[in-house]
């Protein structure tokens, strides 16, 4: 197992290398000039050129890459072109809202989607099954921002139960934190629930047709025990895989959800950085997302062994 | 109305949790505002972006300021005089001016601040080019000595918009003009104090009332007069999504939106708790900018033909829509300001396609496609280029409209490459009226070739008029020069003004006192 983990961790290095080169080149090839953005609308060409020199953007592209990658290898992710802060500081400031959103969304999504997926499989062809599948199609089809606006309209404006936007740090006031997490997490959960419930249904359906389930029933075990201990556990591997893959949906969704609900997280930092061509920030955030994605999928792989003892690394 | 917090409190109460409830302290009056952008840069001299200018007005003060009618009034200056030969200006600061760290404001600070500002600002550069130097007389007095009489000394020092000559402590003002000032140097003498420890870019920026600030005795008027702060704290909340801004204002989570989108104004107007306030009566002006280096716009007659082909109302209807928020105005120096005049404008901006076609034929237009850049991500600009394309095509131009996001446009417009190789012929943008009040201030009138703004017009006659204007000290004669310049400019345009528009702020009715001003300011504002 340790050998497997070590090999997977080492495999992250070339992945990050490819991501670094790709992101760096994409940014340089994309039209747009951070110096022009910084200088403002009334700036002259000379002022823009001065700023470009100060930022080192007049250096050849490979020199810029060598300087950046050299700094990254020393743990220095550079300074944002816009904020007079290091990128590491910026990320540290923005990580909490995104982490909170991701955890709340995962908790919401898993606690809703797995039970309804199991129920849909158990009651295949029933109204519950059709409702779950219908919701699933809807969840896939409706964009996150539309769901967000609908939730804001109903729960914040019409009913006035929850705030429209903003973020309060968990350490400052827990209740205000919780109030502000409900709508964004629900918004982001919808697509996730659609995905997981569908896979749960399909996996559990497949398992329910296995001989050992018939045996379990023949032994006189209750439906709850058959479903939870025998069916769900054996169906867990594909569900876990989908949850792992869904982290990408979560990262992408966080960009939109944080903008709609005014959460100052990494998603919004990414949008702001892209719009203002803040190269050091974009590069670092994308690298960070890549690491998170790879590590979470490694954890998912490891967790397979908990559900299926036949899996050994 | 349900809320988690209230429910939790109810549960606690029901569970019998009791205790002596201390009397709640008096809540500080906090104004929560969504501005048009987040504050990412703290140095208003380093960049010309409007959000930094607005931030500057919170923290720093100015020597002079304009009132509602754009008349320049003393602000930090107590008294000033000019010598009989108009070559020596003497300025004396008001008593009791203090930086936020408690140190007194001195003439040395002001001299250093003017020098740093002048290194960045085009109007400042012109002022200092005509100046012999600045000289500190004593702690409160300094002199500006000119090489020749200069008519824009006060207008320069009281410049209301980017870059504004904000006064900073000498140590801060000695920062290289090409470098940003440091976070710990955001210390001004203005009516609000910046809370560096609470600044979270992308989340909020916080200012608190400067209790030691000594406002002028005169009532607040525009950017001039007494800056009396009537709230304890102002928070500018970063909220990029316009729909969310509106929902937050309707829900009472914020008090004001500086610049709500025009399409959402009807929705806001219907809300009985919200009012729309047009705080900036001169508003903004749309401009069509030529690249005077690129054929065929190197030919003044062809640029003039575009002027003849254009009609303003189509642009304004397509972008703003409601006539309440726009004005057809031919005056390039903005209707409602001292230098507004229609001199020379009778035959242009009438949408006369037939006349424009005839002019094109006379000018020998060879059918070169015009590369017109369209910004697609800024709502107030998006629909301008399609209107320009339609009006130009009606007059016989071939137009290749290239769509891109604003930041791409900003990067491309500084390129002098041929339009077919990554350059450009024209694009449309907008100016805040306070930036274009006279031909020296208005950047697109600068026709000094390579030193001019992108578009690089090169016209010695326009430059001659601009110099005459700068050196003329009599306002009546200045206006005559503007009229002459304008008549010449119509035939040799550097850009075209395609209409004036206004963006009201939206505020809850609990908020009052926003001043009529070219810049949104927060002194005088009250909150119930």
Q: What percentage of residues in chain A have a pLDDT greater than 70?
A: 98
Instruction: Measure CB to CB from residue A178 to each of B4, B405, B408 and give the nearest one.
Output: B4
ipTM: 0.74
Longest dimension (CA), chain A: 84
Number of separate domains in chain A: 1
Instruction: Measure CB to CB from residue A264 to each of B178, B203, B407 and give the nearest one.
Output: B203
Q: Which residue has the higher pLDDT, B266 or A298?
A: B266
Is residue A106, in this structure, part of any structural domain at all? yes
Interatomic CA distance for residues B424 and B418, integer angstroms: 7
Classify the C-alpha dihedral B263-B265-B271-B274 as positive or negative.
Answer: positive
Query: Which tokens is B167 given?
Result: 């006064």
Is residue A212, in this structure, part of any structural domain at all? yes
- CATH number, domain with residue A213: 1.10.3720.10
Confidence of residue A6 (pLDDT cuts 50, 70, 90): confident
Q: What's the pLDDT score for residue A134?
A: 93
Which pLDDT tens digit goes with each residue over A112-163?
999 999 999 999 999 999 999 999 999 889 998 899 999 999 999 889 999 9
Q: What's the pLDDT score for residue A42?
A: 64
Is residue A129, in this structure, part of any structural domain at all? yes
Q: What's the pLDDT score for residue B27?
A: 65
Q: What's the pLDDT score for residue B10?
A: 46
**Cβ-based contacts of B179 with chain A (< 8 Å):** 54
- Pairing state of beta strands B399-404 and B326-327? unpaired
> Which DSSP category does B323 fall into?
G
Half-sphere exposure of A13 (CA within 13 A, CB side): 5
Three-class SS state of A288: helix
Query: Which tokens is A55 given?
Result: 């930022």
Produce one character per residue of B446-455: b if its CB has 16 or more CB atoms within 10 Å, e if not. bbbeeebbbb
Interatomic CA distance for residues A166 and B265, integer angstroms: 23
pTM of the complete model: 0.83
Say whether B200 and A41 touch across the interface (CB within 8 A).
Answer: no
Residue range A253-270: mean pLDDT, rounded:
90
Interatomic CA distance for residues B505 and B501, integer angstroms: 13
**Cβ-based contacts of B414 with chain A (< 8 Å):** 33, 36, 45, 48
Query: Which tokens is A213 given?
Result: 């389930």
Confidence of residue A12 (pLDDT cuts 50, 70, 90): confident
Q: Say yes or no: B178 contacts chain A, CB-CB below 8 A.
A: yes
For the beta sheet containing B495-501, the strands, ordered from the edge strand earlier in sequence to the opposite edge, are B326-327, B495-501, B284-290, B426-432, B370-375, B399-404
Angle, vertex CA A143, rays to CA A141 and CA A146, nearest 5:
125
Q: Say yes or no: B237 contacts chain A, CB-CB below 8 A.
A: yes
For chain A, the distance separating the N- and C-terminal CA atoms, rounded to the nearest angstrom, is 5
For residue A255, pLDDT over 50 is answered with: yes
Query: Which tokens is A248 given?
Result: 């990408």
CA distance A42 to chain B (A): 6
Query: Which tokens is B7 given?
Result: 């429910």
3-state secondary structure B430-489: EEEHHHCCCCCCCHHHCCEHHHCCCCCCECHHHHHHHHHHHHCCCHHHHHHHHHHHHHHH
Is residue A207, in this structure, part of any structural domain at all? yes
Q: How many CB pairs under 8 A join A and B?
A: 157
Interatomic CA distance for residues B372 and B391, integer angstroms: 13
Q: What percentage of residues in chain A have a pLDDT greater than 90?
A: 38
Q: Are B333 and B481 in contact (CB under 8 A)?
A: no
Longest dimension (CA), chain B: 92
Count of other CB atoms within 10 angstroms of residue A252? 15
Produce one character per residue of A193-232: b if its CB has 16 or more CB atoms within 10 Å, e if not. bbbbbbbbbbbbbebbeeeebeebeeeeeeeeebbeebbb
Residue range A203-213: mean pLDDT, rounded:
90
Is residue A20, in this structure, part of any structural domain at all? no
For chain B, the distance separating the N- and C-terminal CA atoms, rounded to the nearest angstrom, is 22
Residue numbers of the domain that contains A289: 87-307
Chain-centre distance for alpha carbon B212 = 28
Q: Are A40 and A61 in contact (CB under 8 A)?
A: no
Enclosing H/E stretch for B500: strand B495-501
The residue of chain A with its CA nearest to that of B454 is A45
Three-class SS state of B157: helix
Is residue A31, in this structure, part of any structural domain at all? no
Instruction: Measure CB to CB from residue B1 to each of A85, A149, A160 and give the nearest one.
Output: A160
Interatomic CA distance for residues B382 and B482, integer angstroms: 31
Q: What's the pLDDT score for residue B22?
A: 43
Enclosing H/E stretch for A269: helix A266-275
The residue of chain B with its CA nearest to that of A272 is B202
Q: Say yes or no: A195 contacts chain B, CB-CB below 8 A.
A: no
**What are the residue ranges in chain B where pLDDT is below 50?**
1-24
Count of other CB atoms within 10 angstroms of residue A9? 12
Least trusted range by pLDDT, from A18-32, A189-203, B13-27, B432-446: B13-27
Is residue A291, in this structure, part of any structural domain at all? yes
Is residue A58, in this structure, part of any structural domain at all? no
């Amino acid at each position: 197992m340790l050998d497997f983990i070590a090999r997977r961790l080492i495999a992250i290095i070339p992945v990050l290398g490819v991501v670094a080169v790709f992101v760096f080149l994409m940014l340089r090839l994309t039209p747009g000039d951070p110096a022009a953005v910084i200088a403002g609308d009334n700036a002259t060409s000379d002022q823009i050129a001065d700023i470009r020199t100060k930022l080192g953007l007049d250096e050849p592209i490979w020199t810029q890459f060598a300087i950046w990658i050299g700094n990254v290898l020393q743990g220095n992710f550079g300074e944002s072109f816009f904020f007079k802060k290091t990128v590491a500081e910026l990320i540290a400031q923005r990580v909490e809202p995104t982490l909170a959103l991701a955890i709340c969304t995962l908790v919401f999504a898993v606690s809703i989607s797995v039970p309804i997926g199991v129920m849909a499989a158990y009651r295949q062809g029933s109204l519950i099954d059709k409702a779950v599948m219908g919701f699933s199609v809807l969840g896939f089809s409706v964009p996150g921002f539309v769901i967000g606006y609908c939730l804001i309209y109903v729960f914040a404006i019409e009913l006035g139960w929850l705030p429209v936007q903003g973020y309060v740090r968990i350490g400052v006031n827990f209740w205000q934190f919780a109030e502000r997490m409900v709508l964004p997490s629900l918004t982001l959960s919808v697509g996730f629930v659609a995905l997981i419930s569908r896979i749960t249904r399909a996996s559990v359906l497949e398992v329910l047709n296995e001989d050992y389930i018939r045996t379990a029933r023949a032994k006189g075990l209750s439906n709850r025990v058959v479903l939870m201990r025998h069916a769900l556990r054996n169906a867990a591997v594909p569900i876990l895989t989908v949850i792992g893959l869904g982290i990408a949906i979560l990262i992408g969704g966080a960009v939109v959800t944080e903008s709609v609900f005014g959460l100052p997280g990494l998603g919004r930092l990414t949008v702001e950085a892209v719009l203002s061509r803040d190269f050091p920030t974009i590069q670092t955030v994308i690298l960070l997302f890549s690491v998170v994605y790879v590590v979470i999928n490694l954890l998912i792989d490891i967790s397979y062994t908990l559900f299926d003892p036949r899996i050994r690394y | 109305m349900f809320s988690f917090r209230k429910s939790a409190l109810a549960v606690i109460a029901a569970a019998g949790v009791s205790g002596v409830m201390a009397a709640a302290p008096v809540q500080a009056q906090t104004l929560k505002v969504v501005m048009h952008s987040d504050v990412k840069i703290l140095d208003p001299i380093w960049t010309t972006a409007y959000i930094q200018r607005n931030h500057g007005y919170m923290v720093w003060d100015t020597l002079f300021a304009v009132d509602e009618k754009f008349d320049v009034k003393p602000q930090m200056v107590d008294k000033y005089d000019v010598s009989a030969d108009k070559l020596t200006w003497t300025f004396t600061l008001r008593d009791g001016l203090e930086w936020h760290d408690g140190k007194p404001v001195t003439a040395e600070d002001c001299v250093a601040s003017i020098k740093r500002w002048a290194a960045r600002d085009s109007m400042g550069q012109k002022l200092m080019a005509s100046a012999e130097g600045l000289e500190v007389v004593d702690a409160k007095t300094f002199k500006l000595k000119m090489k020749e009489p200069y008519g824009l000394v006060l207008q320069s020092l009281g410049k209301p918009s980017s870059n504004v000559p904000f006064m900073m402590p000498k140590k801060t003002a000695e920062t290289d003009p090409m470098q940003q000032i440091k976070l710990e140097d955001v210390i001004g003498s203005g009516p609000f104090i910046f809370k560096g420890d609470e600044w979270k870019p992308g989340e909020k920026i916080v200012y608190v009332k400067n209790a030691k600030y000594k406002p002028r005795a005169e009532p607040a008027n525009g950017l001039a007069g007494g800056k009396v702060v009537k709230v304890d704290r102002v928070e500018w909340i970063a909220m990029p999504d316009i729909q969310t801004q509106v929902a937050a204002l309707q829900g009472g989570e914020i008090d004001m939106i500086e610049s709500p989108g025009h399409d959402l104004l009807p929705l806001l107007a219907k809300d009985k708790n919200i009012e729309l306030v047009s705080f900036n009566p001169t508003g903004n002006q749309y401009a069509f900018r030529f690249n005077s280096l690129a054929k065929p716009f190197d030919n003044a007659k062809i640029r003039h033909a575009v002027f003849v082909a254009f009609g303003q109302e189509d642009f304004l209807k397509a972008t703003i829509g409601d006539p309440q928020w726009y004005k057809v105005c031919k005056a390039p120096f903005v209707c409602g300001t001292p230098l507004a005049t229609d001199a020379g404008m009778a035959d242009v901006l009438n949408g006369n396609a037939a006349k424009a076609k005839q002019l094109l034929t006379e000018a020998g237009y060879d059918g070169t496609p015009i590369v017109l850049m369209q910004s697609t991500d800024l709502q107030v600009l998006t629909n301008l280029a399609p209107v320009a394309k339609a009006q130009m095509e009606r007059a016989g131009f071939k137009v290749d409209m290239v769509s891109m996001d604003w930041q791409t446009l900003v990067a491309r417009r500084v390129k002098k490459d041929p339009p077919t190789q990554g350059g450009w012929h024209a694009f449309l943008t907008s100016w805040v009226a306070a930036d274009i009040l006279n031909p020296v201030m208005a950047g697109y009138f600068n026709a000094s070739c390579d030193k001019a703004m992108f578009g690089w017009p090169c016209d010695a006659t326009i430059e001659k008029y601009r110099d005459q204007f700068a050196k003329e000290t009599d306002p009546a004669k200045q206006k005559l020069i503007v009229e002459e310049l304008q008549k010449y400019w119509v035939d040799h345009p550097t850009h075209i003004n395609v209409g004036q528009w206004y963006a009201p702020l939206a505020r809850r009715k609990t908020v009052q006192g926003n001043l009529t001003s070219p810049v949104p300011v927060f002194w005088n504002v009250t909150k119930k």
